């Protein structure tokens, strides 16, 4: 269906691909992996024809339809989310938009004179809309949007008023509604909550076309793909199996290459020693010459490239009192919408609570109450003795000084730390070499999140309150963060849609449901085992 044969591609001075090949057949679900900047997005753009390889061939089966979801959503406004999603399917959405205008014209007193013509045109448009099965398409569009956690109100509201994250969901829904022969999904799991992620996972498992995707969410990708293509030093290497199998095979391959390299190095050293020893002796001249020629002909085995994995080690935070957070009889609502009534919740030292709940259940509100970013309507929120809190939320990124570089930002937070320590800290969070000279105003969302996290964890508080800390983080940074937080000696309260993060770090679960608040001893894995569901409100096994 899709083939890349011997493609080569260079961007400026950076060589991305050298005579690289791969293929995807109908029904195959493939994960594309490789470090940041390796060329994953460029590969997607070559498949869609937005970019051409410098050499080699990109072949797509004739008549094959391809849907491409990227992080670059483009302008959306002046129509409802439903209309924007149907737009991707062609003429149906234009007819739906015209019907909406004609319906408005029919009840507009200023257009009473033209009513007959308007009604006649409405009849023609309606007939064509029905021929194209427009009502069924609209129902499917709403179903997809509901799966991505849209309320009816949000579906019918102006898409231009939505935040960037919700616009991403509209763009994703457009591709899913198309059901093309092939889907290219570049980070579809960004900006999704746990419920939407699990719905999307089920949708993609049932999709019958060819799928090529990237994702920083390991659990999500692992449950969908059956094949991995890795961009490795300009080559495309294919592995059959999921990410766990790919990790094993890659490690095995590296061990074999290392052993091969070491054997060859030992042999070369022996030959060179012989040549050096006997090159001055006429009696050994022929042997020396033959060995020199042999060495020239040997194809050198390269040492395997070592993956840079940096570990971050916490300083020990100061000890807090045993009762860290106490909420008593807390009531909280927004307008007429109550969120909590009579909430009692106690967090004790070293507990790690993950907060689960459907969209709008009040997960972020709970964290804001604890952090003092919002006040309860009734009741008390008390923070215990000797508690030092670090609060990470999406707005934390807005507090960075845009004119400072990454290094200056770290230096102004920790003037006593040496330059070496700050550079090591920056390296742990993915800023190596000259990256530290970037001004904060040009950083992406992911880079800002990593910088804020680095500043919070360098001199750690003993209570971490984290609202979606893994949003925008790549797999390597996320692994580092999970490993670091696993050794954290303080207390945690957090919201996350990343199941690896939830499973690795929680030892308590607070579940927010319309029926009330439930508390579970044991972490996320025990919660799933006990309830048979991965998120509140989902059907068991869903």
What is the full DSSP assignment across 359-404? TTSSHHHHHHHHHTSS--SEEEEEE-TT--EEEE-GGGGGGS-TTS
pLDDT over threshold 90, residue 276: no
pLDDT more than 90, % of the chain: 49
Whether the per-residue pLDDT at 305 is higher than 90: the answer is no
CA distance 39 to 60: 20
Q: How much is the mean pLDDT over the chain?
A: 88
Whether 319 shows a pLDDT value over 60: the answer reads yes
Q: What is the model's pLDDT at position 259?
A: 86
238 sits in which H/E element: strand 235-240
**Secondary structure of 42-106 in HEC code, one letter for each residue:** HHHHHHCCCCCCCEEEEEECCCCCEEEECCCCCCCCCCEHHHHHHHCCCHHHHHHHHHHHHHHHH
The whole-number average pLDDT for the span 12-39 is 90
Rounded average pLDDT over 438-443: 89
Nearest-angstrom CA–CA distance, 311 and 479: 9
pLDDT at site 429:
86
**Torsion angle in degrees (nearest 10) through CA of 511, 513, 517, 522:** -20
Name the residue with tokens 């579940």. 511
Q: What is the mean pLDDT of residues 384-407?
A: 90
Q: What is the mean pLDDT of residues 216-226?
A: 92
pLDDT score, position 307: 56
pLDDT of residue 111: 84
Residue 540 has pLDDT above 60, yes or no: no
- Predicted pLDDT of residue 280: 80
Would you mind telling me the total number of residues written for the chain in this entry? 542
Residues sharing a CB contact under 8 Å with residue 279, sequence separation 6 or more, in sequence order: 288
Quick: pLDDT tens for 134-173. 888 889 999 999 999 999 999 999 998 887 788 999 999 9
Report, as an integer, the average pLDDT of 170-180. 91
Tens digits of residue pLDDT in 416-430: 988 888 998 998 888
Angstrom distance (rounded) from CA 457 to CA 449: 12
What mean pLDDT comes out for the span 47-69? 93
């Amino acid at each position: 269906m899709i083939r890349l044969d011997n493609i080569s591609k260079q961007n400026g001075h950076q060589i991305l691909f050298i005579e690289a090949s791969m293929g995807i057949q109908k029904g195959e679900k493939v994960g594309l992996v490789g470090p940041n900047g390796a060329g994953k997005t460029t590969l997607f753009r070559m498949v869609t024809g937005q970019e051409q390889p410098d050499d080699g061939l990109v072949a797509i089966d004739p008549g094959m339809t391809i849907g491409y979801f990227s992080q670059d959503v483009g302008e959306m406004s002046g129509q409802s989310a439903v209309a924007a999603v149907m737009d991707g399917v062609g003429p149906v959405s234009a007819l739906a938009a015209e019907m909406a205008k004609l319906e408005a014209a029919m009840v507009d007193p200023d257009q009473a004179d033209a009513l007959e013509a308007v009604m006649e045109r409405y009849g023609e448009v309606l007939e064509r809309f029905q021929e194209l099965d427009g009502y069924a398409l609209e129902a499917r569009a709403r179903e997809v949007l509901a799966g991505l956690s849209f309320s009816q109100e949000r579906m019918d509201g102006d898409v231009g008023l939505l935040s960037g994250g919700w616009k991403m969901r509209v763009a994703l829904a457009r591709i899913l509604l198309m059901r093309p022969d092939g889907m290219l999904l570049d980070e579809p799991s960004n900006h999704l909550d746990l419920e939407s992620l699990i719905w999307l996972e089920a949708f993609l498992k049932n999709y019958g076309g060819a799928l090529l995707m990237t994702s920083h969410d390991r659990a999500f990708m692992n449950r969908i793909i059956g094949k991995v293509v890795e961009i490795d030093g300009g080559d495309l290497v294919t592995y059959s199996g999921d990410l766990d199998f790919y990790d094993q095979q890659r490690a095995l391959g590296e061990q074999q290459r290392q052993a091969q390299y070491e054997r060859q190095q030992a042999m070369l050293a022996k030959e060179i020693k012989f040549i050096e020893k006997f090159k001055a002796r006429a009696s050994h001249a022929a042997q020396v010459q033959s060995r020199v020629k042999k060495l020239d002909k040997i194809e050198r085995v390269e040492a395997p490239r070592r993956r840079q994995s940096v570990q971050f080690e916490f300083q020990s935070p100061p000890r807090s009192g045993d009762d860290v957070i106490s909420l008593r009889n807390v009531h909280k609502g927004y307008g007429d919408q109550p969120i909590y009534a009579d909430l009692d919740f106690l967090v004790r030292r070293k507990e790690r609570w993950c907060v689960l709940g459907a969209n709008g259940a009040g997960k972020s509100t709970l964290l804001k109450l604890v952090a003092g970013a919002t006040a309860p309507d009734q009741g008390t929120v008390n923070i215990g003795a000797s508690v030092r809190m670090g609060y990470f939320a999406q707005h934390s990124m807005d507090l960075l000084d845009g004119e400072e570089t990454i290094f200056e930002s770290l230096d102004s937070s920790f003037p006593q730390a040496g330059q070496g320590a700050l550079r090591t800290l920056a390296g742990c969070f993915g800023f190596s070499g000259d990256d530290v000279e970037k001004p904060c105003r040009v950083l992406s969302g992911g880079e800002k999140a990593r910088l804020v996290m680095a500043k919070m964890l360098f001199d750690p508080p003993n209570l971490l309150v984290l609202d979606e800390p893994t949003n925008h983080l790549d797999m390597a940074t996320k692994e580092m963060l999970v490993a670091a937080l696993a050794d954290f000696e303080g207390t945690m309260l957090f919201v996350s849609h990343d199941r690896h993060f939830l499973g690795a770090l929680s030892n308590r679960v607070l579940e927010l449901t319309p029926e009330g608040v439930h508390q579970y001893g044991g972490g996320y894995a025990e919660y799933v085992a006990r309830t048979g569901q991965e998120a509140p409100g989902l059907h068991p096994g869903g």
